[in-house]
Structure 1
């Protein structure tokens, strides 16, 4: 994805405390336009507070913030005009139908009757809710409610969307459906600021990831860059002939040999150049390998290494 030189979000020295409890302690953030920026951290790390500040819901105690070029403190209304927020819990009215919830948003946005109807129909179709449009939201599944919640956010055509734990509690199928929606939004030019405890979610979606712990950023980078911060990456080679295993072990003195299952674990970051060099070396020596697999640290390993504990949730989608 391409990025612009002017960031969608730029925060410097962000601070927030409640009495003696410091929630954010000098946080710096820079979010490029038309990207997914994921803020990771355990409960209490300050993720939701960060979103609340950046979306003008609460004021910071210190620091400066610009959103889409607008100063958060001096131009809050201009900031609100370009953002949308989908919180941890669906902000839908369970007594209304899906279509009625969307029509309520079009009325609040002062869209005309014809334009409002067009927007409602388009969003129902886009979020696969057309068949359930006239059903009360109380009958919706969790995934349907989250899709409707995001659809309501999009009525205002925001340039920046804050998604605060958008897939919490969803089943794997609903989670993947939400991921696809996020990818489509970014492809259309929308910037997504995502907070999540699900490491796989950030790994799948994010262009940049920031790790927040105790109100401080402990690391930031692409998922691949963060994984390279911790050791443990390796290439695992499997052999059918003990002699071939012994020959390969002689080529890589730093490798770990397992004679019981005829495997050799060769340290490496899993990069293309490193894997190619390994295969070229085996080929030049005439060593026959039955199979090969790459193993790299995941974001949970990164968080453990940098903070001393894992995030609360580690799930597989």
Structure 2
């Protein structure tokens, strides 16, 4: 197969510099895996922004096409339960890390990375959610498995104006929870209220009291997307027996901790990973997002861009200015 396609390509130059641009690639140059997929939509995630700027902790080998999310149509199938014409979703695993990702109009992947599109979601809707939406849903699912319910009290979402945070706010509100949204972008308060947040906290409030071993019990549960000392402040202010689901590190990968909240209040710190999650678990969560957890306000979460607009969107995200999700249209 000799057809060419457009891809966003990152190349490594001299002195640790990295250049971004749109190039023509050949399908024959893609890795020899089971499924060839014509990508219609992708999305921009923080990990993609890191890959696109040369972070070797995300992507080791360049030149490279980022994009940890992809939704499209199978063109060739040499394994699994797929046939040409099937619409599929791919998130996580090595896609967009060291395997050419969703910022190209074609990808070729192992069949074990793909799931068939749930009937309740279009390919576009699936990529408005993307890895961020899947992660938010996994966080809510973990909290519910720990026994939280909408009558227990307020639930906090940190980093609430980001990709995971906006979906988490909307999803918790959809399920009947009283949601508090913590954000460093107070100008987004009205937007967060439209998603269902009842209370808006600024970042300074979330950071207040970080030197104390315990804070007043307040939150019935929390989803933390930022990490750092804000995460441990959340732990210190959970109600007795409550839990926080942790899925991000934009505020730092470390925090000063004490065992006191754990042994005096029996709280739980729950880690959430959506990358290497078994495919059956991913499929189950996508089914939820397409049915009983389907969001009515998905379009309000996303800004749509094309491949040539990626460099600006990446810079915007790394500068901490991105709000909500970024949908990448490759059609």
Pairwise TM-score range, normalised by the shorter structure = under 0.3
Q: TM-score, normalised by structure 2?
A: 0.25
Q: TM-score, normalised by structure 1?
A: 0.26
Structure number with greater Rg is: 1
